[in-house]
Chains A and B, each alone.
Chain A
């Protein structure tokens, strides 16, 4: 190769690099594409599913449909609660369809798989539906924000409250995957800290229809409290079947460690009354939450939003604000900007995103109303206590995220 051609080649390369550089500090394809990836047909479809897509669309509409002069699009897909399906959709969205941010993603195993892809490809990932604290600890990433809740917050809220009410000995019914194990581990720690004891646990496969053998083991353990370290359809099935086994009538108490308002609706107040739950959002809390919930319900055949769906709205809105601020949609760049801005909307008051990607906001300890307290459908909770964000979530110095400097 002659000197001239080397010079030519390097100039061309430099020009190319400059072009790429220029392209990065900009909104790719002049479209901000939001991918809502969740369960649209399985056990978590009610608490996320179409409702999360509706929430994302509402956020886009309320934002005005455009960031600067770039259009905003919302796409959605069903990950079927399978990590391989989820990660291949995420990969294809980013590679082929130019998706700039992936939101929701319930099911921790899928969320962890998506986390691998988004962090590798510098795409923002705002999780509302998944619970595992691993997402902001060992598996944390600079492109990630964990918005609505996590297993730590659930266990601190519900676990502590139940022990204080006298539930000293525990037996866990655990969904056999990342989320369930994490929830059991976090709750066990809280129970022991507050003077309780853990008698044992049994794992059940995700999305089981028959809990009989697990419930009998729990019954035989003689524990005061049976902690349900599962979610969605699994929780409601376990509670229904525990009722038919006469477990509650026999004096044992059930603690749903993660309960959504859709679960309460599915169970009915007769069965669910008296359950203590921790939630990141309740629609009937303030005027703003009611206003949002009414608009949401109009589009969802009267269903009020779950905390996951409300979280999607809040996360998408905050994301769009950050993109607007820096005029860039690269994953790390936007998330860095998001971390600089406080969150003030109907979902969170003075919410903030920490270095490890955890969005810190107040959580609420609620008790499910009895049928005669309730004034109608969706009027399900009494808020017992507000748990301040700093108490609700795992302290930064106890975490193991590599992004945190300490």
Chain B
């Protein structure tokens, strides 16, 4: 992992060039988001892709930058979806506040889960997060407001502060695109902030960070909370897009899927999870006619990915260009 993100001293000139390239990529990204629905791509598919891309990016903050594999992120994704759905449908508090409520719930859960799980590393961390997420799953199965197997259905899309009507698919798409861009921007800034650098430091050498006087446990909990909150943002948005929140979102399969997306795309790279989500969602979508064989195809892709390009697609491209 060290080779992809080695912090070489950059000269002023290269720094400026990198920055320019960054702006260029951002501009291309925004333009792509803006025109995508006019290229004949099904807007609902795009919205789903954006939600999962944001989910994977948030997950990547933990796996790629702190080096902790959480196997329970579906709990945040699904719970936020339920809370947003319930808030919008039953309480009628409006779409934006509903999404905010979902995000907040996921953030609080992240804080609690993080405080419990962060004491451990590696497989133990993964197991604790999985156990906590399973508790959430069974809570969602039994709690009356989630409606068990039926899920919350017919969530109204509503409006943005009564001004913009989200029932129109294209409007909804731009709403989701803005949420995605905002979430992505926050993550991007976090990763490149001193806080993000400290997280990378923890990933590379935790004892050294402790000896340097960093409050390592606190930083990890903060990162986990943030990752959970943005995961929640993605889940809440998905609930509004599909107008339903169901057990699928909170099932452990979902936690596995996001690991897959991040690894295929390239963990520890900012664009990797987006690419990974794109590939996984596109495969699921276009191969859906072959039924349960999708799982086999995905498994094969995962094996090939791990055997031949371990840095993931974006990670591999970055490594090649830097050489």
Residues of chain A touching chain B, judged by Cβ–Cβ distance below 8 Å, are: 40-41, 77-78, 82-85, 87-89, 91-92, 95-96, 108-109, 112-113, 116, 175-178, 205-206
Contacts and interface: CB of A to CB of B under 8 A. Distances in A.
A91 B244 CA distance: 13
Contacts of A205: 141, 149
Interface of B: 42, 44-45, 48, 141, 148-151, 153-154, 169, 242-244, 246-249, 288-289, 291-292
B148 A83 contact: no
Contacts of A40: 291
Given A77-B289, A176-B141, A116 B153 contact: yes
Contact of B243 (A78, A116, A175): A116
A95 B44 contact: yes
A78 B291 CA distance: 7
B246 A82 contact: yes
Contact of B244 (A95, A96, A113, A176): A113
A40 B293 CA distance: 12
B149 A87 contact: no
24 contacts: A40-B291, A41-B291, A41-B292, A77-B288, A77-B289, A78-B291, A82-B248, A83-B150, A83-B151, A84-B242, A85-B248, A87-B242, A88-B242, A92-B42, A92-B44, A95-B42, A96-B42, A109-B150, A109-B151, A112-B150, A112-B153, A113-B153, A177-B150, A205-B141
A96 B44 CA distance: 10
A92 B246 CA distance: 19
A139 to B, nearest CB: 9
Contacts of B153: 83, 87, 109, 112-113, 116
Given A109-B151, A177-B149, A177-B150, A88 B44 contact: yes
B39 to A, nearest CB: 14
Nearest to B249: A84
Contacts of A78: 288, 291
Q: Which 9 A-B pairs have the closest CB atoms?
A: A177-B149, A109-B150, A84-B246, A116-B154, A178-B150, A206-B149, A176-B148, A113-B153, A83-B151
Contacts of A206: 149
B40 to A, nearest CB: 10
Contacts of B154: 116
Contacts of A92: 42, 44-45
A49 to B, nearest CB: 11
Given A87-B242, A176-B148, 18 more contacts: A40-B291, A41-B291, A41-B292, A82-B246, A83-B153, A84-B242, A88-B44, A92-B44, A95-B44, A108-B150, A109-B151, A109-B153, A113-B153, A116-B153, A116-B154, A175-B149, A177-B149, A205-B141
B contact patch SS = helix
Contacts of A84: 151, 242, 244, 246, 248-249
Contacts of A175: 149
Contacts of A177: 148-150
B56 to A, nearest CB: 18
A91 B241 CA distance: 12
B292 A109 contact: no
Most buried by B among A95, A113, A175: A113
Contacts of B248: 82, 84-85
A389 B105 CA distance: 50
Contacts of B148: 176-177
Nearest to B148: A176
Contacts of A109: 149-151, 153
Given A83-B150, A178-B150, A91 B288 contact: no
Contacts of B243: 87, 116
A205 B150 CA distance: 11
Contacts of A178: 149-150
Contacts of A41: 291-292
A89 B153 CA distance: 15
A89 B44 CA distance: 11
A66 to B, nearest CB: 25
A85 B247 CA distance: 11
A91 to B, nearest CB: 6
A215 B130 CA distance: 29
Given A95-B44, A113-B153, A83 B141 contact: no
A121 to B, nearest CB: 11
Contacts of B48: 88
Contacts of B292: 41
A109 B247 CA distance: 12
Nearest to A203: B148
B248 to A, nearest CB: 5
Contacts of A87: 153, 242-244
A83 B153 CA distance: 8
A36 to B, nearest CB: 13
Nearest to A180: B149
A318 to B, nearest CB: 28
A205 B248 CA distance: 14
A91 B43 CA distance: 11
Most buried by A among B44, B149, B151, B246: B149
A81 to B, nearest CB: 8
A82 B246 CA distance: 8
Contacts of A108: 150
A87 B242 CA distance: 8
A71 B246 CA distance: 37
Contacts of B141: 176, 205
